[in-house]
Amino acid sequence: MQEVNKILVFRLSSIGDIVLTTALLRCLRNSYPDAQIDFVVKKQFADILKCVPFVSRVIEVDSKLGFQGLKAVRNQLRDEKYDVALDIHKNWRSMFVCNTIGAKNVFRFNKHVFRRWVLTTFHKDIYQEVRPVYLRFIDTAKPIGVEPDGKYTELVVPESIQQTVDAMFLEQGISLDEKIIALCPGASFSNKQWQPEKFAELASRIKNELGMQIILLGGKKEADICDTITKESGAVSFAGKFDLSQSIAALNRVCITVANDTGMLHVSEALGKPVVGIYGPTAFQFGYFPILPQSHVVQINNLSCRPCTKMGMNHCPQKHFKCMNDIDVEMVLGTIKKM
Residue 140's identity, in one-letter code, is T
For range 47-52, the mean pLDDT: 98
Mean pLDDT for the chain? Answer: 96
CB distance 278 to 196 below 8 Å: no
Sign of CA dihedral 265, 317, 225, 14: positive
pLDDT of 260-288, one tens digit each? 999 999 999 999 999 999 999 999 999 99
CA atoms within 13 A on the CB side of 301: 3
The contacts of residue 75 (CB under 8 Å, 6+ apart) are none
- Distance, in Å, from the CA atom of 296 to the CA atom of 279, rounded to the nearest integer, reads 10
Q: What is the pLDDT of residue 310?
A: 87
pLDDT of 50-97, one tens digit each? 999 999 999 999 999 999 999 999 999 999 999 999 999 999 999 999
Statement: residue 13 has pLDDT above 80: yes
For range 101-113, the mean pLDDT: 95
CB distance 134 to 291 below 8 Å: yes
pLDDT of 139-166, one tens digit each? 999 999 999 999 999 999 999 999 999 9
**% the chain with pLDDT above 70:** 99
Q: What is the pLDDT of residue 2?
A: 67
DSSP string for residues in 293-334: TT-EEE-----TT----SS--SS-TTSS-HHHHT--HHHHHH
- Distance, in Å, from the CA atom of 14 to the CA atom of 89, rounded to the nearest integer, reads 10
At residue 295 the predicted structure's pLDDT band, cuts being 50, 70 and 90, is: very high
pLDDT of 317-338, one tens digit each? 999 999 999 999 999 999 999 9
Q: Using the CB atoms, write b or e for 146-170: b if 16+ within 10 Å.
A: beeeeebbbbebeeebbeebbebbe
Long-range contact pairs involving 59-66 (C-beta distance under 8 Å, separation at least 24): 61/12, 61/93
With a threshold of 0.85, does the pTM exceed it?
Answer: yes
For range 115-125, the mean pLDDT: 93
Going from N- to C-terminal start, the domains of the chain cover 6-144, 159-338
Taking domain 6-144, whether its CATH number is 1.10.287.70 is answered by no
Strands (E), the chain: 6-10, 36-42, 57-61, 84-87, 105-108, 180-184, 213-216, 236-237, 256-260, 275-278, 296-298
Q: Which of 22, 88, 6 is nearest to 291 (CA)?
A: 22
CA distances from 123 to 117, 304, 312 (A): 9, 8, 16
**% the chain with pLDDT above 90:** 95
CB distance 83 to 5 below 8 Å: yes
Statement: residue 311 has pLDDT above 90: no
Same fold? 6-144, 159-338: yes
Q: What is the pLDDT of residue 190?
A: 87
SS3 of 181, please? strand
Q: What is the pLDDT of residue 1?
A: 55
10 DSSP assignment = E
For the domain spanning 159-338, the CATH number is 3.40.50.2000
